[in-house]
Structure 1
């Protein structure tokens, strides 16, 4: 049995969950999210807990079991506390700034790169214009937009310049050695 799928999901006080068939709608202090889940699982709502149960032991049902439980748990966590990702910009002259809601990156190209936030996501530039905080209630969208920002200038292995996640470790190469 799926170790993740069989764990119950506890619902915080200020969050309401509505389940109709395999459609789940979650409302909380940060906003609301809705999602349709695969047909191979059933969602049981009892009191302040939710359990996800699969119909049979087929491979597809087992795959969808843990996925469905994680999607519901992420929706509940998103509307109650939200998600955030932290990016660090490293390099001489590399910086980020906000123009309204748009994030403007100067990362060594001949032109600044502008990134519009999708709905439900906000950017914040902190600490000497070298760090970007991406916040939102949908974990999937926050992760995707953060990956797109990082892809503008991924960290390079010789000097470490570029955009990286806060907890990312860039393995450095030695580079050329001079003639002796």
Structure 2
């Protein structure tokens, strides 16, 4: 039985939702997002809250119940306040600069890496060793952060590379004579 699915998703002030069949459309101050719920769950709108319930008691319906509620909650949070992911760059000469529609990264390669900034995402580099990714779609923000991290993942000996803010890198000891 899903415990998270039982909780209704409250709509804050300035956020409106519209449900047509299995499609959920949420509008807010930051933009508009939509999600198509699976057929195994029913989604209803009642007095500033969205309720999600399973249509039957199958294992699949119970599994999709909590997932659908989390997806709808992410839509509401995204259009009201948005999502942010921070990356830290560690290493001598490693830096990031936003130039136009590209994020230019110096990551120890023989060339600079140009990462194009997609629509709906804003990337800022407040310091040369910090990158901040913001947007209204949680999945897209996380995917862009993972792609930038994969350009030079942190290595375990010196810790050089791109890592998430707050991520712990397990350090290894070097060779001994």
Contact preservation (8 Å) 1:101, 1:123: no
- Partner Cα separation in structure 1 for residue 81 and residue 13 of structure 2: 12
Moved more, 83-92 or 41-50: 41-50
User: Within 5 A, what are the aligned runs for 1:91-110?
Assistant: 91-110=91-110
Q: Which residue of 1 aligns with 2:48?
A: 48
Tell me the alpha carbon deviations over residues 145-165 of structure 1, each in whole angstroms, 9 at most, x when there is no partner. Answer: 000000000000000000000
Unpaired runs of at least 5, structure 1:
none
Q: State the match for 1:60 in structure 2.
A: 60
Match of 1:173 in 2: 172
Deviation sequence 1:5-57 (CA, Å, 0-9, x none): 11111000100100011100010000101121101111111111111010111
Query: For 1:27-176, what aligned pairs fall within 5 Å after superposition?
Result: 27-127=27-127, 129-176=128-175
Normalised TM-score (structure 2): 0.98
TM-score (norm 1): 0.96
State the match for 1:7 in structure 2: 7
Deviations 1:42-76 (A, max 9, x none): 11111111110101111111111011000000000
1:165 and 1:76 map into 2 onto residues whose CA distance is 24
Q: How far off is 1:101 after superposition?
A: 2.3
Shift of 1:110: 1.0
Give the whole-Å Cα distance in 1 for the aligned partners of 2:117 and 2:169.
27
Give aligned pairs, total.
177
On the 8 A contact 1:5/1:65 being kept in 2, the answer is yes
Q: What is the Cα-based RMSD across aligned positions, in Å? A: 0.7
**1: CA distance between counterparts of 2:118 and 2:25?**
20
Q: Secondary structure of the equivalent of 2:42?
A: strand
Moved over 6 A (4+): none
